[in-house]
Amino acid sequence: MEIDRGFEAVVPSNIALLKYWGKKDEGSQWPANDSLSITLADLVTKTKAFLLKEADDHRFVLHGEQLGRTAPLAGKAFRQLDFLAAKFSFPQKLLIVSENNFPTGCGIASSASGLGALTLAALAAWTEADSWQSLQEHGFDRPYLAALARMGSGSACRSFWGGVVQWEAGAQAEAQRVYPLVEAKHWQLEDTIVLFSQHEKKVSSSQAHQAAWSSPLFAPRLAELPERAEKMRLALAAKDMEQLGPLIEQEALEMHAVIMTASPATHYFDEHTAQFLAWLRRIRREHKIAVYFTLDAGPNVHLIGEKAQQERLRPLLHRHFPQLKYLYDQMGEGPSLRMRMESPAPYLFPGKSHAT
């Protein structure tokens, strides 16, 4: 099989401060509420897309292993490729080679960076666009790329910009907007991620999103959110961690309360997470460290705070929880695109891949 030129996208993960949880419409990926997130710098998905000549289907290689259409981690990727190919009538099949530099599918938003990078690399390959400018000339400006990535994973749309990014739900599905709210250089927040589990979660966030409306806590939450969002924006503008911190913790706990009280109920939050959060509250009180937690749809904890505060917290973490694994990141500048990598691609088909 002949493989043509390749196009590489590097898209970072993001962590929500104001959570996207629940959808008004599944088909158009219309969220129930506005959300706000921090785009990370170093936790990224790197995806290469190569145009295949005369292939009968796309090929998807994740972490060096070729995955079929029915493999659990490949379903979303194939659905997104099928959606994009059908929408824009691209006839050519693609070889997609992707890797995350962090654990996949355990609540560190690998679907945000993964679907973002897949969308960007695939459209660059199909249009043979060799820059953001060229993609724009083909009709794919950044907001449109973000909207297309959103169809694969809602939170992916916020990974298209750096800093703090806002996703507005709007009055109709078509009126959704995603845009950068605060530049990364305005306030260099850092994220310490405490890994309680590196396993893929049993209930996907797509399944759990659907149940949100059945929680008795969901309607009161939605009523409260505009005011909370405004307070968060003010705290971000003022670089006021004492204001922002309690708001992000309330937000994470409320999202998990909705998830746990929905029908069917899901429990991403386990006893290790609960014990850890109790420890963090105590340490914060005793040592006056301004680092606050947030959680995604998984048991792992993100600790958000300024560099100096993180530097005080990290030795305590290592001393008290030497058995745990940690990832360290900070607010970043958003995705990057590298195009026209030369073939040959380092993969042979059919059969298993030979990753280099």
The residues of the shown chain that bind ligand PMV, judged by CB under 6 A, are 16, 19-20, 35, 109, 111-112, 153-155, 205-206, 209, 296-297
CB 295 within 8 A of CB 301: yes
Nearer CB in complex with ligand PMV: 149/241? 149
Residue 26 or 65: which CB sits closer to ligand PMV?
26
Centroid of chain to Cα 207: 17
Q: Which is nearer to ligand PMV, 15 or 123 (CB)?
A: 15
CB of 145 to ligand PMV, least distance (A): 16
Shortest spacing between CB 19 and ligand PMV, in angstroms = 4
Beta carbons of 128 and 135 less than 8 angstroms apart: no
Least distance to ligand PMV, CB of residue 116, Å? 10
Kindly state the smallest distance separating residue 232's Cβ from ligand PMV, in Å: 13
Inter-residue contact 50 to 345 (CB < 8 Å): yes
Contact between 157 and 146 (Cβ < 8 Å): yes
Nearer to ligand PMV, 5 or 177 (CB): 177
Sign of CA dihedral 139, 143, 145, 148: negative
The residue among 59 and 209 lying less far from ligand PMV, judged by its C-beta, is 209
Kindly tell me which of 169 and 291 has the beta carbon lying closer to ligand PMV: 169
Phi and psi of 125, rounded to 5°? -65, -50
Residue 158 CB, nearest approach to ligand PMV (Å): 7
Q: Least distance (Å) from ligand PMV to the CB of residue 95?
A: 25
Q: What angle do CA 303, 306, 310 make, to 5 degrees?
A: 55
Dihedral sign, Cα of residue 217, residue 268, residue 241, residue 284 = positive
**323 C-beta neighbours (distance < 10 Å), count:** 4
